[in-house]
Amino acid sequence: MTAKYLFSEISIIIKQLQYNNYRLFNYFVDLIKISLVKYLMKNEKNKTAIFLILTFGISYLIAGLFYLSDMPYNSIYGIIFAVVYMFVPAFATLLVEKLIYKTEIIDSLFIRFKFNKWFIISWLIPPVLAFLTFAISLLLPNIGYSADMEGMFTRFSSMMTPEQLAQMKSSVEDLPVHPVWITLVQGLLAGLTINAIAGFGEELGWRGFLVKQFEGMKFIPASLWIGFIWGIWHAPVILMGHNYPEHPIPGIFMMILWCILLSPVFLYMLIKSKSVIAASIMHGTLNGTAGIAILMVVGGNDLTAGVTGLAGFLALLIIIALIFIYDFFIVREKIILKMLTLKTENEEIWPKTLDKE
């Protein structure tokens, strides 16, 4: 038996062992994957945890990469980043529901286009909020009225050159109607179209997936939890200057509180409309009309003026109070003091009455 023959036999044995080890390794990997999926599918709480880990993990990773890129947030690159960021909750929802759990999502996540009056109400609440915020702003100290939008030009002065600012003023003066009405029309149209699509990126997660996961919870705690999660999710973009460029650190806490206040309004519209599409329209219209609140005010800052400032908080409290009054004293089907129970197919989606405690 030659050394060459021995070496050849040993090589064959080693290759066979490597092949067997590879098969054994794959077997254990598949076993772990199957066991993990079975474990995760045993408890709906695991489903919520996976969604939150994916949503926050992907969102914060994207935000970190954008921050490290040194690209300015107030630029076209910032707009692209913000739009991508908005679609992360929907992406995480699809990963959890379709890839991991392989469940049906169209009806269970309220992706319904059946029109009713609550679509219109959802569409009109944002401009009402913007004008109400504007009116309340004028009652606050150090904030005044400016029909020529001097306050807006002052805010833009730090982001534009004198030439650009002068050109902007000239363009505004040449408009046939006041910019506030143009903003209103544009915001309403965008809210039904392109902004609604971007809004759907968030709403499929917040008002679709999370609402389904919180089934069995009372309306108020569910809306508070969703609002809290929604607010924290905004933290990276707030630190980059979104909504609170003058006060990014306090802005994080302001945004959390704002989302908590806004959440019951969105949840109520979702339940009444029976559709996450209506919530998406409301979200898109809110983004398109929020600027109305600060177009004609001078003074104040990002913590006091605007829909995300103190004036906006007070305006939201008024809207919430009106919804409470409507739910308690006018409508027959009560929602706010009831428990969320969600049904699929073409059944009604109404919170069920709680037993007296």
The answer to whether 184 touches 289, Cβ cutoff 8 Å, is yes
Q: Residue 131: is it exposed, middle or buried by C-beta count within 10 angstroms (0-12/13-18/19+)? A: middle
For residue 147, give the DSSP letter: T
Report how far residue 215's alpha carbon sits from residue 342's, in angstroms, rounded to the nearest whole number. Answer: 7
Nearest to 115 by CA among 278, 241, 228: 278
Radius of gyration of the chain (CA): 26
How far is the C-alpha of 203 from the C-alpha of 285, rounded, in Å?
Answer: 13
Q: Is 63 part of a structural domain of the chain?
A: no
pTM: 0.84
Confidence of residue 108 (pLDDT cuts 50, 70, 90): confident
In a domain? residue 278? yes
pLDDT exceeds cutoff 60 at 349: no
pLDDT tens, residue by residue, 289-317: 999 999 999 999 999 999 999 999 999 99
In a domain, 223, yes or no: yes
Do 105 and 97 form a contact (C-beta atoms < 8 A)?
yes
Q: Is the pLDDT of residue 238 over 70?
A: yes
The residues near 354 (Cβ < 8 Å, ≥ 6 apart) are 218, 337, 338, 339
Report how far residue 225's alpha carbon sits from residue 5's, in angstroms, rounded to the nearest whole number.
Answer: 72
Instruction: Using alpha carbons, list the distances in angstroms from residue 289 to 48, 110, 124, 133, 271.
Output: 32, 25, 10, 12, 23
CA angle 67, 73, 74 (to 5 degrees): 165
Band (15; pLDDT cuts 50, 70, 90)? low
The pLDDT value recorded for residue 184 is: 97
pLDDT tens per residue, range 109-130 = 999 999 999 999 999 999 999 9
Looking at the domain assignment, is residue 1 inside a domain? no
Q: Are 269 and 279 in contact (CB under 8 A)?
A: yes
Residue 227 inside a domain? The answer is yes
Q: What is the rounded distance in angstroms from the CA atom of residue 274 to the CA atom of residue 282?
A: 14
Identify the CA nearest to 157 among candidates 146, 166, 147.
166
Q: What is the mean pLDDT of residues 311-337?
A: 94
Answer whether residue 186 is part of any domain: yes
What pLDDT was estimated at residue 165?
75
Judge whether 5 lies within some domain: no
Which percentage of the chain shows pLDDT scores above 70? 82
Torsion sign (Cα): 246, 249, 254, 255: positive
Using one digit for the tens of pLDDT, what is the confidence trace for 245-270? 999 999 999 999 999 999 999 999 99
**For the chain, what is the domain count?**
1
Given a cut of 60, whether residue 346 has pLDDT beyond it is no
Q: 144: which strand partners? A: 298
Q: What are phi and psi of 18, to 5 degrees?
A: -60, -40
Whether 46 maps to a domain, the answer reads no
Q: Please tell me the distance from the alpha carbon of residue 210 to that of residue 45, in angstroms, as a whole number.
A: 11
- Rounded-to-10 torsion of CA 227, 232, 233, 237: 120
C-beta of residue 55 within 8 angstroms of C-beta of residue 233: yes
Residue-range definition of the domain harbouring residue 133: 116-330
pLDDT confidence of 21, banded at 50, 70, 90?
Answer: low
Helices (H), 204-330: 210-213, 219-233, 235-239, 248-273, 276-289, 292-295, 310-325
Helix (H, G, I), strand (E, B) or coil at 237: helix
Query: What's the rounded Cα separation, in Å, for the pair 313 and 311?
Result: 5
